[in-house]
Amino acid sequence: MRTDRNRLLSAYAVVVYIFLFLPIVILIIFSFNADRRNFNWTGFTLNWYPTLFSNRLILGALGVTLQVAAIAVFASVVLGTFLGLGLARIGRRWRGPLEVLLLLPMVTPEIVMGISLLLFFATLFGGQGSFTQIAIAHITFCVSYVAVIVRARAIGLDPHLEEAGRDLGASAWGTFRHVTMPLLAPAIAAGGMIAFALSFDDLVITSFNAGVGSSTLPLYIYSKIRFGVTPEINAVSTLIVAITGVAIFIAWRLGTFSSSEGRLVAEDG
Amino acid sequence: MLGRRLGIGPLILPGAVWLALFFLVPLAFIAAVSFGTHDRFGRVLFDALTLDNYRRAFAPTFIPTISRSIYYAGMTTILSIAIGYPVAFWISRYGGRNKALLLILVMLPFWTSYLIRTYAWMIILRDNGVVNSILHGLGITGEPIILLNTDLAVILGMTYGFLPFAILPLFVSIDRLDEALVSAARDLYANGRSAFIHVILPLTMPGIIAASLLTFIPAIGDYVTPDLLGGAQTTTVAKVVQTLFLSGRDWPQGSALGFILMAVTIIGTFAAVRSLRAEVLS
Amino acid sequence: MTNDYDGSKVDLERFLVRYLAEERMTRRQLLQRISVVGAAVALAPIIAACATGGASATPATSSAPPTVGPTVGPTVSTVPTATPEPTPLPTPEAELHIWNYADYMGEGVIPSFEKKYKVKVSTDFFDTYEGMYARVTAGQTGYDITFPASTDIPGLVTIGKIQPLDLSLIPNRVNLGAEWANPGYDPGNTHSMPYMWWTTGVAYDTARIKETPTSWTALWDARWSGHIAMLDDQREAFAAALIQLKFSANTVDEAQLDQALTLLKQQHPLVRIYSVEDQTYMAGGDIWIGHAWGSDIYTVQQKKPSVEFYIPEEGSVRGSDAAVILDGAKSPVAANLFINHLLDAHVSAENSNYIGYMGPNEAARQFISKDLLDTPWINPDKAIVAKLQELLDLGLDLDKYSTRWTELKAGI
């Protein structure tokens, strides 16, 4: 009976994964579509890939997007982890207002946040839109997501573990590095992955903070809708998935993901 | 305890300061705008501060869109968590050495362009799309069923988009569960279902709450999915706010409606989370 | 130009400019010529005595106008047109930054400009027009040139977001058609040069709709319920209703607007989507009949010939946009030169042929593809143009449309 339940659950999980990847399969297939508008399948062609590599605008936009995402992920993970951890520990007095502060960015409609930053940068700094503005904006909306996830994990952490670390002579930073962080690792990783997805795809907030030479991939893509988003976009997405997939596969083969206990982190009591 | 006392301040300070500077201050600008009026060029005027924008935000025209947004967000949250929980559970229990890999695979589809993923859904759902072609080929339907640009398409698209936002925090919480605890629960209760409801579910509550927050809150403000997959009858409040700012060139009205939306969402979320906690933990 | 020479007085300055233009000389070359000729006159006796050839400088031709041919349609023989060099030629800055719709400019236009003036041009694309407008009104954007709708230009000028053009650098403006040379929204073209113009109407798929509608009412036909699209543009949608009701598309009369709202609400349950992506939805197949912009449908037709378009018999809307130089532009000289470049007959034709829109450029007509010129909704005759209204700036009365539009969309 146990085995049946396992099988059922496994089958279910596979179905969900198929659901998750279904649009991606279509996306990849249509990167070989001959139709420039890419709405109906008219024939097979490999042309879009070489075209992609000679398209300076797309490549430039992709570069900006990836750089912004890297910065956003790093900074929001750092800020968000500490924020989430602190929020899990903080006393009742400050918890309420801090939770609200944390949730507010997620609650804010994107256009409100985008225009608020536009006004902020334009009025106070004479900002005209720039890479820096985009990066700051992305960090700002990513922090909350990381913090919420880390907090959920940190809430259940046994504080005795950290105390034990301190008792054994570790410094505050040492304790954090060797005790707390490993315990939080899945949450930090999850937060980072979500932050990357959010930053990579952001449109509205970026459109109000981008400037000359700092166009991102979503901005480029959405601007193309009017006359047709060519399969080049499918090609660039396919390549990203492919490269990431290969990197993941290699890391997996190297055993980077496994741990000896089959768990991502140590037991916590 | 002293160590812990010293720890909190520096922990939250960087994040809190960042949010205060780059979120609250800009938001204060918008708050100021919400009390202003606009001139004929779409610029904001502050000479005659007014509550009119807020008053108008409660007009009958906006209420249906707010409730529609709440409906979409609610359905999306329930579906995402319902669909995602078993997957998170499966990864945690049976993922073994490959847990991280399986999680990354959950996120991988979302490191592509959102628009192209949505176009793929349009290709699947449109009148001459994959679904209708299959139905027609199997002889089930004569005329294509209208799937795209409906409530169904919106909820499907939103659920798809937020599924990882549910699975990841759920996993983080489920993965913490002690194996021994789960086995003990199974022994205590006659069947697995009771063990789940009385032990596992409450223990993973923080994860469920996190998943709800990460799904419901952004879903209410989701503008793009209902815009692309939805149609004439699926207007959301996020779209209305967008329209007010852009084609209406009425930043004050847009700001006021935006704030009302935020207030409703926060209050609603706290109320829901509190009652959810109380119900499950009782 | 609008002023004709009537012989009453001679404007020496303007005469010189025209002379230099026609002779394709720079001022320096003229002075050279004069000095040489003057010297020759002075030295004539001596030279005559020496019996060597006279020193007559051959007028050096400035670089030929860029040869960019049409990319769509039959090739046309190049009839020389007056595309004179700006004189004197100030040094353009090193870079130029343009902010435009994607795919809204011929592919050779920028390279030919870059080659001619040694300016590095970068283009960024905005995802929505209104987003661009919001950024421009909110502050500096770092761009030199952008393309606002003509209705927005008077307002942008008033609030100082557009700087005046340096018309001495834009001699190609003589190419503009009569009605574009002094438009109501920008008298004398002091702040803008028209770029493209278009008509609004109804597109339908002849494969799905086996009749030939001619009226706005076809968009209200219940037989096509679930397959109708309307433009997600409050002015355009209201115009469709107002024109049917025989009101002005620019009315601010609330009673009239209420009637229009009622008409739109009757249509609402039949509408599948409100969207500005008319090319996408007419090419897609889910939409059988849609409110659309003519030039976009021309592009759709190239790939999907079953799509037809008509300007409704009750009348419709026309619009246009223009190239402007933003206040605070860092490269005003290059910007002016680029705008001049856009008005070059060949360049304007290339743009029209590439994007399927009609330009304001009379001199360009001879280079525009015949197919485009034969399309009645892109190149309408006077009778149809008379039925087209321009959407004018309504100022604060826009709110009257906004509130009703929100009500319509909310679906109450």
Q: Is residue A220 part of a domain?
A: yes
CA distance B135 to chain A (A): 18
What is the domain-level CATH number for residue A150? Answer: 1.10.3720.10
Asked whether the beta carbons of residue C141 and residue A40 sit closer than 8 angstroms, the reply is no
Q: Is residue A15 part of a domain?
A: no
Q: Is residue A74 part of a domain?
A: yes
Q: Is residue A66 part of a domain?
A: yes
For the segment B40-50, the average pLDDT, to the nearest whole number, is 89
The per-residue pLDDT of chain B, averaged, comes to: 89
* Helix (H/G/I), strand (E/B), else coil: C271: strand
Asked whether the beta carbons of residue A143 and residue B19 sit closer than 8 angstroms, the reply is yes
CA dihedral of B36, B39, B45, B47, whole degrees rounded to 10: -90
Which one of A111, A150, A179, A198 makes the best mutation probe of the B interface by having the most chain B beta carbons within 10 Å? A111
Asked whether the beta carbons of residue A129 and residue C135 sit closer than 8 angstroms, the reply is yes
Is residue C57 pLDDT above 70, yes or no? no
Element (H, E) at A1: none
Q: Classify C65 in phi/psi space as left (phi over 0), alpha (psi -120 to 50) or beta.
A: beta
**Going along chain B, which residue ranges are E strands?**
37-38, 44-45
Strands C145-146, C95-100: parallel, antiparallel or unpaired by DSSP? parallel
Tokens 């319920």 locate to C225
Residue C144 is encoded by which pair of tokens? 């030199």
Q: Is residue A185 part of a domain?
A: yes
Higher-confidence residue of C135 and C87: namely C135
DSSP letters, B232-280, are TT---HHHHHHHHHTTS--HHHHHHHHHHHHHHHHHHHHHHHHHHHHHH
Per-residue pLDDT tens for B216-243? 999 998 888 999 999 999 999 999 999 9
Under a CB-based contact definition with an 8 Å cutoff, are residues A180 and A150 in contact?
no
Residue A65 is encoded by which pair of tokens? 């997007």
Using DSSP, how many helices (H) and how many strands (E) does chain C show? Answer: 14, 11
Q: What residues in C contact A213, CB-CB < 8 Å?
A: 122, 124
Q: Out of A3-7, A128-132, B122-126, C94-98, which region has the weakest mean confidence (pLDDT)?
A: A3-7
What do you get for the CA distance between the two ends of chain A, in Å? 30
Tokens 């073994």 locate to B96
How many beta-carbon pairs below 8 A join chains A and B? 305
Which one of A207, A222, A226 makes the best mutation probe of the C interface by having the most chain C beta carbons within 10 Å? A226
DSSP letter, residue C292 = E
Is residue C284 pLDDT above 50, yes or no? yes
DSSP letter, residue B150 = S
For the segment C300-318, the average pLDDT, to the nearest whole number, is 94
Q: Which residues contact C173 (CB under 8 A, 6 or more apart)?
A: C167, C181, C189, C193, C340, C343
Q: What is the CATH number of domain C95-196+322-372?
A: 3.40.190.10
Strands C228-230, C289-293: parallel, antiparallel or unpaired by DSSP? parallel
Higher-confidence residue of A107 and B60: namely A107
The per-residue pLDDT of chain A, averaged, comes to: 88
| Predicted local distance difference test score (pLDDT) of residue A17 | 97
Q: Could you say which architecture CATH assigns to the domain C198-318+389-410?
A: 3-Layer(aba) Sandwich (3.40)
Is residue B29 pLDDT above 50, yes or no? yes
Which one of C126, C232, C273, C399 makes the best mutation probe of the B interface by having the most chain B beta carbons within 10 Å? C273
B30, B113, B224 member nearest A115 (Cβ) = B30
Asked whether the beta carbons of residue C406 and residue B245 sit closer than 8 angstroms, the reply is no
Say whether residue C225 is in contact with chain B using an 8 A CB cutoff.
no
The per-residue pLDDT of chain C, averaged, comes to: 84
Hey, which CATH number is domain B53-281, 1.10.3720.10, 1.10.150.120, 3.40.50.1950, 2.40.50.140?
Answer: 1.10.3720.10
Say whether residue C159 is in contact with chain B using an 8 A CB cutoff.
yes
Is residue B282 pLDDT above 90, yes or no? no
Structural domain spans, chain C:
12-50, 95-196+322-372, 198-318+389-410
Tokens 């924008």 locate to B53
Is residue A23 pLDDT above 60, yes or no? yes
Asked whether the beta carbons of residue C124 and residue A226 sit closer than 8 angstroms, the reply is no
Asked whether the beta carbons of residue C139 and residue A128 sit closer than 8 angstroms, the reply is yes
* Helix (H/G/I), strand (E/B), else coil: C211: coil
Q: What residues in C contact A212, CB-CB < 8 Å?
A: 97, 122, 124, 142-143
Cross-strand bridge partners of residue C322: C194
Q: Is residue A247 part of a domain?
A: no
Which one of A112, A157, A168 makes the best mutation probe of the B interface by having the most chain B beta carbons within 10 Å? A112
A119, A128, A226 member nearest C279 (Cβ) = A226
Alpha helices in C209-344 (DSSP H): 234-244, 254-267, 278-284, 294-303, 332-342
Q: What is the CA radius of gyration of chain B?
A: 23
C103, C296, C303 member nearest A224 (Cβ) = C103
**Going along chain A, which residue ranges are E strands?**
none
Say whether residue A33 is in contact with chain C using an 8 A CB cutoff.
no
Q: Which residues contact A209 (CB under 8 A, 6 or more apart)?
A: A114, A117, A118, A121, A129, A130, A133, A134, A136, A137
For the segment A70-92, the average pLDDT, to the nearest whole number, is 93
| Predicted local distance difference test score (pLDDT) of residue C412 | 64
Is residue C30 pLDDT above 70, yes or no? no
Per-residue pLDDT tens for B46-68? 988 999 999 988 888 888 888 89
CA distance C297 to B194: 61
Is residue C175 pLDDT above 80, yes or no? yes
Residue C143 is encoded by which pair of tokens? 């761009």
Q: Is residue A38 part of a domain?
A: no
| Predicted local distance difference test score (pLDDT) of residue C59 | 36
Q: Domains in chain A: how many in total?
A: 1
Closest alpha carbon to B18 in C155, A144, C56: A144
Q: What residues in A contact B148, CB-CB < 8 Å?
A: none
Range of the domain at A154: 47-231
For the segment B203-228, the average pLDDT, to the nearest whole number, is 90
Q: Which residues contact C363 (CB under 8 A, 6 or more apart)?
A: C81, C82, C174, C175, C345, C348
Percent of chain A with pLDDT over 70: 94
A119, A208, A212 member nearest C143 (Cβ) = A212
Is residue A62 pLDDT above 90, yes or no? yes
Asked whether the beta carbons of residue A21 and residue B109 sit closer than 8 angstroms, the reply is yes
Residue A7 is encoded by which pair of tokens? 């099988």
Asked whether the beta carbons of residue B232 and residue C399 sit closer than 8 angstroms, the reply is no
Higher-confidence residue of A259 and A64: namely A64
B38, B149, B246 member nearest C272 (Cβ) = B149
CA distance C134 to A116: 12
